[in-house]
Structure 1
Amino acid sequence: MTDDATNANTPASGGPEGNPEDLGCIEELFGGGSLGKGSPLSGGPAASSLPEQNLEHDRYDMRLWREIREASAELSSLEGDEEAPSTFPALLKDLFLSYFKAQPDLLPAGGVEPRHRQANRPFVERTLEDPDTYRARVTTSLDVAASALSSLAAGERLLEEIKNRPSLRGFFEEAGKEPTFPDAKVEPDAHAPEEPEQQDPKGSDTEDRTQEAPGTGLPGRDARRAVRAASGAGREEAENVAGALAGWGLSPADLKKVPLGERLELLKALSRPEMRRLIELVGRMRNLARTRAREKVAESRDEVHAIELSGDLSRLLPSELALIASKEPLRRLAALCRLAQGRSLSWELTGKKKEKKGPLVALVDSSGSMGENQKMEWATAVALGLVDLAAGRGGLPKRASAVLHFNTSVLSEVRFSPGERDARKLLELATVGPGGGTAYEPPISRALEVARESGYEGADLILITDELCRVSGEFLEGFLAEKEHRKMRLFSVLIGYSSSGELGRYSDRVWVLADLAGTAGAANAAGEVFGLI
């Protein structure tokens, strides 16, 4: 036998260190087993190839995180905070995964880079176990923007707790140090007993204790309180975002086409504390509008025209239904046979053909006086309720809509195509401020142009104002002529007066509200407007 053959059949000396390539393959195959100093579990060179996250993730999750970090200056700044522990950026990613993943699971302890396992894992485990995280994930799961905002809120609060608690700062400093192992020694398991801590006098801490590596000095009580505060902040942010979307009549799907960075800014703007009163009004008006729309749809259902033979169970005469429910088998069988053959006595219904109508245009007075007593907010909420109706949310046919804010000129014009729900446009409407005087002619003239551009008859104009203004005779004559020619209607809501005055000359109907303090009267006026659309 040759020397080559002998060498080929002789195992390399020195154990596993004899063939580094085979060692690496075997280690990868077994998920990072302890095979010496080069093993991830030993803290040696191979440990650097292990992920820093303690939660299971894939390339898609990490790509999403990179996009979020690039899109959000706040998140990027938080991640790069100079006073944060060295392992905090990875912990922030784990927070995002805990909100985004439908079922976040921990990686095996041996599959995480040692420093991040020792420093971050106790906090990740507690976060997953916290009830507030479960509640938040109801609305954030698989929603990139909502998960990003919740992880930002939770991360900010957690970092604040770490900075304010010396015990946590000390723990992260020690746990985040590079491990040095003179021998090929396996790192202690992350589920050894935690350092002893005093029982909370208000109750037992047993259920909240997470076992950690001995020697890490994890301050259990402070860690638990920090995680609870962070999870609470994340849940609160998730609820604010979900409540804001519901209040505006939006869903996460309505924001899918908006670039991620802009989507984050939109969600933050729509859920700002100063928006809450408007959100409440908008939600109330939207629900009122949809209720009125459903009532109108029910009233316009197909009417009975005659009796015919059919197999449509929903149109059967009461006599046929009685036979089908009969306790006598032969009668019931005969009725079912006629139904199957399409020969049951049924109502013949006639339907009304739905014609396309011109746009719905809301004219909102934005003069300085509208900034008093929530008049501007109420008018904007009514306008958004009208936009919701035009989008077909209440069961009515979809139609184009527009909202014009005006004082002595048209300040802003936001237009919606039939069925459109654009969050950016809604935010634009909500952020118009009051100022200046009032004039009717500029907004009404522009509304007429919008109606002409649609090409359809039957446009509806809704004017909401707190000022009575005169229009010229020439303008009024032209407006009335075009209004009749295009079969348009003008409804007006006048706030702060006791009579309609000038508006009664050219409005189909005027609602006069002495003020908005009587919420019932204001709601009734809004409901009647919605019911006439």
Structure 2
Amino acid sequence: MADDQGDAEGGLRERPHPTVVEHDAYDRAAWGRVRDESPTLRERLEAGQRIFPGFEALGQDVFCALFKYTLTLAPPAEATEGRTALARQVLGWVRSAKGLERLRAETVLDEPRAGLGTLWVLDRVYQMLTHPERFSQRRLLAEFELKQLEEQVEELEEQLSEAAELSETPLAERDPDAFQSTLDTLEGELSEARRDLKRMRGEQARSLSRLPADTQTRIRDLLDTLPERIEENERELSAFGQHLGLPDGATGGSAAAKMELGDELAQSPKLRLLSRMVGAFREFAQAQRRATFERRPAEVHAIDMGRDLARLLPAELSLRRHPLLRQEFMRRFAEAKLLQYAVEGQERAGRGPMIVCLDGSGSMRGEKELWAKAVALTLLEIARKQKRHFRAIVFSGGRHDLRVFDLLQMPSPGISEPPKVELRDVMEFADHFPGGGTHFEAPLDQALELLEAHPDLKRGDIVFITDGAASISSAWLTRFKAAQARLEFSVYAVLVDVGRRIGQAPQADAVARFADRVTSVSRLTSDAVKDIFIRI
């Protein structure tokens, strides 16, 4: 399973690195799924494997220690004593942690939680291995030599056993001296290899015994805090999903995907802060839109399916009180398949795509970037409810710096359910920041691409958020305005003027050439873009 260092040079056949925790096929399958489907875990295993030959096997041991219902260590084997020494040391620290049983209550038979705990434990072990006061470069190189020497001893023992068996056959009678010479040579090489192995195991044992006292404490302290960290991580991940309108904060995907998202959120204070900002902005936007649209008239224009009790047909409502059909009513209510009036008011169905072009130049780094992305993700939720295509475009210096994020998965034609949001895609968007200069034409061309792809859907919207200025050619502007007249979309520009006195030039003049409406923002609050939340 683990990479085998030095086999090509030594002529030894590849051998899987021994593990310490007893496991079965079910445990191996669970570990394989988490490892193979998690790029972050694979990267950390590969990084550890480059400096320590048993790092991947240690990863499996830690995972099994957290995942298995019964934690049992395999009896020590003299043949693999050196290769498993560090794993036994680490597993000993893990087992002696006061919070282990509390942690296992959260992780046993739970692949995402066990995988997340494994990631964090391996991080701590990797820090230990790369700390020069704990493991010198020479000591780490000696681990590879020790691994190769143990495997060499195993190989010589097998060869000596095979040669001894052959010496008892008629074949050996043809040239008994040659066979005896072969046996003597193998015994001599084996004896020498065993002496070297004993010496290196002694050096290894002394090295492990001289580890600083806080090494064990750091591993134990991590285990003691992991239950709270895992629970807090799940709450934050669920909250992030809820802020994006996902049902019950659902993250979807495989166990490894949930583990990946959880680790990324845990490692990024930026994402956690953005999650809280999106939650606040979303509540503000909903309140503003509710207050505005509740006062606007709406008229019935069709019959569709759903579960809005205020718009259900009388015949459907009568089923609620029917002793035999009430259960059928509840089933169709859960599936949003009750007949209801479709009303048409200010927020009509069939609106064109919504595109947010977000400036990712160096001057936007920090607070302005977070605010702009909170605005973008709030607009994402509005687009999801309106069943509109949504594209976020992060731009900076030119076309090669563009990154396009299509953040809504639209349902198939004829399906009335709202578009789906993939949390993985949203987190990639939230974390992406190219830096560099500012170029306006390239992101607007990308926005036009989506609008052109749906020419039948009018009244699309482009929201352009920037703190800079860039030149726009007259020829390009003429083409853009012609497309706007044909596709009937609106362009809202948000000019972020935080940190300096608001001026009308050159920033406002630059965006006013292509925007229908320009909003200058001097304070990074949700109220600053209230008008866009209502108009969009």
TM-score bucket of the superposed structures, by smaller chain: 0.5 to 0.7
Question: 1:131-177 deviations in whole A, cap 9, x for unaligned?
Answer: 7726964996545642441342354478799x969xxxxxxxxxxxx
What SS class does the counterpart of residue 351 from structure 1 fall into? strand
Q: Is the 8 A contact 1:361 1:403 kept in 2?
A: yes
Structure 1 gap segments, 5+ residues each: 1-50, 166-216, 307-311, 317-335, 343-347
Structure 1 residue 364 corresponds to structure 2 residue 372 = no
Whole-angstrom CA distance in 1 between matches of 2:34 and 2:320: 63
Alignment of 1:372-521 (within 5 A): 374-390=367-383, 392=384, 395-407=385-397, 409=399, 411-416=401-406, 417-418=409-410, 419-421=420-422, 423=424, 426-427=427-428, 430-438=431-439, 440-455=440-455, 456-469=457-470, 471=472, 475-476=476-477, 478-496=479-497, 497-499=502-504, 500-501=508-509, 503-504=511-512, 507-514=515-522, 518-519=523-524
Q: Is the 8 A contact 1:292 1:530 kept in 2?
A: yes
**One-letter amino acid of the structure 1 residue matched with residue 373 of structure 2:** T
Whole-angstrom CA distance in 2 between matches of 1:256 and 1:154: 25
CA shift, 1:229, in A, is: 2.0
What SS class does the counterpart of residue 532 from structure 2 fall into? helix
**One-letter amino acid of the structure 1 residue matched with residue 395 of structure 2:** H
Alignment of 1:128-167 (within 5 A): 129-130=99-100, 133=103, 137=107, 142-143=112-113, 145-153=115-123, 155-156=125-126
Picking from 322, 338, 342, the partner of 1:351 is 342
Structure 1 residue 113 corresponds to structure 2 residue 75 = yes
Q: Is the 8 A contact 1:278 1:381 kept in 2?
A: no
User: Which residue of the partner structure matches residue 330 of structure 1?
Assistant: none
Residue identity over aligned pairs, in percent, reads: 21
User: Which residue of the partner structure matches residue 256 of structure 1?
Assistant: 254
Picking from 5, 8, 26, the partner of 1:60 is 26
What SS class does the counterpart of residue 380 from structure 1 fall into? helix
CA shift, 1:62, in A, is: 1.3
Q: Is the 8 A contact 2:94 2:223 kept in 1?
A: no
CA shift, 1:479, in A, is: 3.6
Whole-angstrom CA distance in 2 between matches of 1:399 and 1:297: 22
Whole-angstrom CA distance in 2 between matches of 1:351 and 1:300: 16
Distance 1:459 1:53, change over 3 A: same
Whole-angstrom CA distance in 2 between matches of 1:341 and 1:269: 51
CA shift, 1:465, in A, is: 1.1
> Which moved further from structure 2: 495-504 or 447-456?
495-504
Structure 1 residue 231 corresponds to structure 2 residue 232 = no
Q: Is the 8 A contact 2:464 2:492 kept in 1?
A: yes
CA shift, 1:463, in A, is: 0.5
Whole-angstrom CA distance in 2 between matches of 1:436 and 1:226: 44
User: Which residue of the partner structure matches residue 532 of structure 2?
Assistant: 529
Whole-angstrom CA distance in 1 between matches of 2:485 and 2:297: 30
User: Which residue of the partner structure matches residue 199 of structure 1?
Assistant: none
Whole-angstrom CA distance in 2 between matches of 1:452 and 1:122: 63
Distance 1:135 1:415, change over 3 A: same
Whole-angstrom CA distance in 2 between matches of 1:281 and 1:120: 36
CA shift, 1:266, in A, is: 6.9
What SS class does the counterpart of residue 414 from structure 1 fall into? strand
CA shift, 1:128, in A, is: 7.4
Q: Is the 8 A contact 2:438 2:469 kept in 1?
A: no
Whole-angstrom CA distance in 1 between matches of 2:115 and 2:529: 34
Question: 1:464-492 deviations in whole A, cap 9, x for unaligned?
Answer: 11134564555545544533442312111
Q: Is the 8 A contact 1:99 1:151 kept in 2?
A: no
Alignment of 1:60-209 (within 5 A): 60-66=26-32, 72-75=42-45, 78=48, 92-100=59-67, 104-107=69-72, 112-113=74-75, 123-127=93-97, 129-130=99-100, 133=103, 137=107, 142-143=112-113, 145-153=115-123, 155-156=125-126
CA shift, 1:450, in A, is: 1.9
> Which moved further from structure 2: 58-67 or 234-243?
234-243
Distance 1:233 1:280, change over 3 A: same
Distance 1:366 1:58, change over 3 A: same
What SS class does the counterpart of residue 462 from structure 1 fall into? strand
Structure 2 gap segments, 5+ residues each: 1-17, 78-83, 136-208, 301-306, 312-317, 325-338, 411-419
Alignment of 1:332-343 (within 5 A): 340=322
**One-letter amino acid of the structure 1 residue matched with residue 446 of structure 2:** R
Higher helix share: 2
CA shift, 1:356, in A, is: 2.3
Whole-angstrom CA distance in 2 between matches of 1:236 and 1:396: 38
Whole-angstrom CA distance in 2 between matches of 1:233 and 1:83: 28
Q: Is the 8 A contact 2:355 2:462 kept in 1?
A: yes
Question: 1:371-409 deviations in whole A, cap 9, x for unaligned?
Answer: 4x633343234334433543x3xx443533232414455
> Which moved further from structure 2: 448-457 or 422-431?
422-431
Count of residues in correspondence between the two structures:
380
Q: Is the 8 A contact 1:362 1:463 kept in 2?
A: yes
What SS class does the counterpart of residue 220 from structure 2 fall into? helix
What SS class does the counterpart of residue 491 from structure 2 fall into? strand
CA shift, 1:493, in A, is: 0.7
CA shift, 1:355, in A, is: 1.8
Whole-angstrom CA distance in 2 between matches of 1:82 and 1:139: 28
Distance 1:233 1:82, change over 3 A: farther
What SS class does the counterpart of residue 404 from structure 2 fall into? strand
Alignment of 1:38-49 (within 5 A): none
Whole-angstrom CA distance in 2 between matches of 1:224 and 1:458: 63
Larger Rg: 1
**Over aligned residues, Cα RMSD in angstroms?**
5.4
**One-letter amino acid of the structure 1 residue matched with residue 459 of structure 2:** G
Q: Is the 8 A contact 1:364 1:463 kept in 2?
A: yes
Q: Is the 8 A contact 1:360 1:459 kept in 2?
A: yes
User: Which residue of the partner structure matches residue 180 of structure 1?
Assistant: none
What SS class does the counterpart of residue 355 from structure 1 fall into? coil
Whole-angstrom CA distance in 2 between matches of 1:139 and 1:383: 38
Whole-angstrom CA distance in 1 between matches of 2:428 and 2:278: 16
User: Which residue of the partner structure matches residue 9 of structure 1?
Assistant: none
Normalised by the length of structure 1, the TM-score is 0.54
Distance 1:386 1:75, change over 3 A: same
